[in-house]
Structure 1
Amino acid sequence: MLIASYNPAGMGDNLVVLTQQATAYTFAQQENVVQFINKNEEVIGYNFINISQSLDLTGVNGQVFLSEEQVATLNELIAAAGFASTLTVDQTPKFVVGYVESSEPHPDSDHLQVTTTVIDNDERVQIVSGSPNMSQGIKVVVAKIGAMMPSGLIIWPGALRGVESNGMIVSGRELQLPNAPQVPGALILPEDFAPVGTPFDAKSAAAQSLFE
């Protein structure tokens, strides 16, 4: 997993890269590279200070999808700073067209649904959803583990009221699509939108016109 973000207005000229979730960490800084380490002494990410000296991120504000060449540059910075670990390229899609194969009431909630949802590579994941329009047999957009929402929220494995949830079935509002209803509710895609497992690009013409 490799999640990178760059927000020059809010955080200055710093590229933040995460490789896993952690609620507690320590850090060590060498030159312009800060390494984050969790309580198990595993590297969970880096902060690259003054990153524009090494990467051209002009016009970027939010998530950065790093190429192999860019990751190689970051690994050179890590090595030059004296750290031993390296980053691995992750170009797997994090937003995909999904299909809700089943939807059952949550055992400890009157508004949550526990779904089995098909994503890419015919994989089935359990996702707990609070969408009032959730039901079996609908085509949806799934934010997989490691996805970064437009708001900056990162999707990690979790649980809702004791039930495991791996991903998020998202709304048009959460994807910040034009004219999306500003109320809770999963984005239900037209049956002919795209095959299940297809990467979903919120900036594509097809996505931008969903609420026209």
Structure 2
Amino acid sequence: MLISSYNPTALGDVLMMITGQATNAEQEVELKGDVARIYRTSDQQLVGVNLLNANNYVDNLTGNGQIFLDDQQVEQVNQALKTNGFSDRLQADHEPKFVVGLVETLVAHPDSDHLHIAQVDLGQEKLQIVCGAPNVGVGQKVVVAKVGAMMPDGKLIWPGKLRGVESFGMICSARELGLSGAPQRHGILVLDATSEVGVAFDFDQDYSRNY
């Protein structure tokens, strides 16, 4: 997993990368030169890297939010880690995190009057997702934010439990996806039946007919 963001307007020339999950209470930071290495205190596992003066190390950094580093840029980050005294190596992550899924089954949550437990087919895998949308139904084509996705508002998707039931992603609404003209009402985005399961969600299409 590699979640990268770059926001020079708000944060200056800092490339922020997340490689794992940890709360603020569970992590520590080690500083060397232009690198802040963030690690989980329980097992010393790397969970993030902040690279200062990033343009001195990485070519073609553009964007204002989440960005997707190519293989060459990741290798340049690894060289920056080495130059600043760290032995960690990051791996490029090209797996799409917003994917078209098919709701195969839906059962009521045993400890909630509005949550449902969905089994969602993503083509190469199936995920259990707890969903509270009133319009979710079996047979729908939906947009799934997988573990490791960064939502348009900056929220990260991690595995979790909702009232004791494990959930491994989120079925998204148009508003959560930041789509133009998305309604503010509560409810997931239901895609056309012809949408292909397992493909990356195309944010550039016009989905207003599905609202």
TM-score by length of 2: 0.94
CA distance in 2, matches of 1:93, 1:154: 14
CA distance in 2, matches of 1:201, 1:12: 30
Whether 1:210 and 2:207 are equivalent positions in the alignment is yes
Could you say which residue in structure 1 is the equivalent of 2:146? Answer: 144
In angstroms, what is the RMSD of aligned CA positions?
Answer: 1.0
The answer to whether the Cα contact below 8 Å between 1:127 and 1:169 also exists between their aligned partners in 2 is yes
Cα deviation, 1:131-163, whole Å, max 9, x if unaligned, reads: 110111100000000000000001000010110
CA distance in 2, matches of 1:78, 1:92: 24
Query: How many pairs were matched up?
Result: 205
Single out whichever of 162-171 and 5-14 deviates more from structure 2. 5-14
Superposition pairs for residues 1-212 of structure 1, below 5 Å?
1-23=1-23, 24-39=26-41, 40-55=43-58, 56-58=60-62, 60-121=63-124, 123-192=125-194, 194-202=195-203, 204=204, 206=205, 209-212=206-209
CA distance in 2, matches of 1:7, 1:160: 32
Indicate how the Cα distance of structure 1 residues 143 and 38 shifts in structure 2: closer, same or farther if over 3 A, else same.
same
- Determine helix, strand or coil for the equivalent of 2:208: coil
1:73 partner letter: Q
Q: Percent identity?
A: 46
1:117 partner letter: V
CA distance in 2, matches of 1:78, 1:210: 42
CA distance in 2, matches of 1:177, 1:150: 10
The answer to whether the Cα contact below 8 Å between 1:96 and 1:120 also exists between their aligned partners in 2 is no
CA distance in 2, matches of 1:80, 1:96: 37
CA distance in 2, matches of 1:45, 1:25: 10
Shift of 1:9: 2.2
CA distance in 1, matches of 2:34, 2:123: 38
